C-alpha cells in the first residue's frame, strides 16, 4: 500500500470511499496495540484510514522528538495484512504550512497530570487530531485507553467543536507481564524492560485493595507510591486518583476513579492507568 502524503490527494481518495470510515491516528512505530485499534475499526466500519505522523507541536523543548522511532516501511509492512483502505503519512510542512499559527486549547482538563508535566502537550494533540479529523472526515475515531487523559481531551474537543465523529476508546493492550504497549518501550534497556512491569503491578495492587473494600483515595495513592519506592530506579512523576471526567484529584472516599501514574526508568518516561468502579 502506498502512503498518501498530500492532503488534497487524501481528500480525493476519501471521497471515493463508499460507506462508513473508522480512523486510527498514530505517530508510527506501530505495535500490537495500534493493530488492535485497526482491527476494531475494521470490524465496525466499512473502511479504515490510518495516519502516521510524528506531530511536532505536542513535543516540548527537550523531549524526545529527535529520537522518536520512525520506520515508515516497517509500519506499512505491519499494516499490509490488515483491512486498511488508506494510509496518510504527511510531512510536517503539509500539516503545518508556513504561517500556520492556529491552535486548540481545551481548557483546564489539559493542564492536569500530563498537562502539568508537559505544558502545551495537549494543545498540540487537540490541534493535530482536529486537523486530521477535518481532513479524513471519519465516522468514528479509535483511541487507546493507555493514553487516558488524551482520550478525555479529544472527547472534549470533539464535543465542544461539534465534530461529527464518534470517539471510541479501546482497552489498553499489554505484554504478558502487564507492561502497557507503547512505542517508547523500544527505548528500554534489557534491565529497564525487566523493571517496567512494576508500573502496572503497582496499579494492580491498588485495584486489588479497592476490590477488597479500600475506598480512601489517599490510601490508594500511598499504596502505589510505596510499591514503586521499592524500586529506586523508578523515578515517579505523579500518582493520581482522579475523577473520570475532569481529572480532579479525589479526596475522601472513592466510588469511581481513574488511577494513573507517570514514571521515568533510565531515560524513558512511561505512563499507565486503570479505572476503578463502574465503567
Superfamily of domain 7-170: HUPs (3.40.50.620)
pLDDT for 279 beyond 70? no
pLDDT at 278: 73
Delimiting residues of CATH 3.40.50.620 domain(s) in the chain: 7-170
CATH number of 183-272: 3.30.1300.10
Which candidate in 31, 34, 117, 248 is catalytic?
34
Cβ atoms of 263 and 234 within 8 Å: the answer is yes
pLDDT at 61: 85
Q: Is 31 a catalytic residue?
A: no
Delimiting residues of CATH 3.30.1300.10 domain(s) in the chain: 183-272
Q: What is the pLDDT of residues 130-178, one digit of tens each?
A: 999 999 999 999 999 999 999 999 999 999 999 999 999 999 999 999 9
Q: What is the pLDDT of residues 108-117, one digit of tens each?
A: 999 999 999 9
1 pLDDT band, cuts 50/70/90, is confident
Amino acid at each position: 500500500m502506498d502512503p498518501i502524503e498530500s492532503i488534497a490527494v487524501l481528500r480525493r481518495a476519501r471521497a471515493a470511499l463508499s460507506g462508513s470510515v473508522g480512523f486510527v491516528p498514530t505517530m508510527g512505530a506501530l505495535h500490537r496495540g495500534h493493530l488492535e485499534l485497526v482491527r476494531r475499526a475494521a470490524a465496525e466500519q466499512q473502511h479504515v484510514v490510518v495516519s502516521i505522523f510524528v506531530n511536532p507541536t505536542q513535543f516540548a523543548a527537550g523531549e524526545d522528538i529527535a529520537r522518536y522511532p520512525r520506520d515508515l516501511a516497517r509500519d506499512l509492512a505491519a499494516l499490509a495484512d490488515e483491512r486498511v483502505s488508506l494510509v496518510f503519512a504527511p510531512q510536517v510542512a503539509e500539516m503545518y504550512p508556513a504561517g500556520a499559527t492556529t491552535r486548540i486549547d481545551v481548557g483546564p482538563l489539559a493542564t492536569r497530570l500530563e498537562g502539568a508535566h508537559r505544558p502545551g502537550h495537549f494543545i498540540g494533540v487537540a490541534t493535530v487530531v482536529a486537523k486530521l479529523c477535518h481532513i479524513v472526515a471519519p465516522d468514528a475515531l479509535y483511541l487507546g485507553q493507555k493514553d487516558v487523559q488524551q482520550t478525555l481531551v479529544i472527547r472534549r474537543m470533539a464535543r465542544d467543536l461539534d465534530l461529527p465523529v464518534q470517539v471510541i476508546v479501546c482497552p489498553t493492550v499489554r505484554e504478558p507481564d502487564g507492561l502497557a504497549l507503547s512505542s517508547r518501550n523500544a527505548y528500554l534497556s534489557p534491565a529497564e524492560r525487566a523493571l517496567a512491569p512494576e508500573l502496572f503491578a503497582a496499579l494492580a495492587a491498588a485495584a486489588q485493595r479497592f476490590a477488597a473494600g479500600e475506598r480512601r483515595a489517599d490510601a490508594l495513592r500511598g499504596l502505589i507510591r510505596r510499591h514503586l519506592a521499592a524500586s529506586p530506579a523508578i523515578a515517579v512523576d505523579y500518582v493520581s486518583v482522579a475523577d473520570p471526567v475532569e481529572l480532579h484529584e479525589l479526596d475522601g472516599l472513592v466510588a469511581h476513579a481513574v488511577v494513573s501514574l507517570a514514571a521515568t526508568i533510565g531515560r524513558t518516561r512511561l505512563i499507565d492507568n486503570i479505572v476503578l468502579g463502574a465503567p
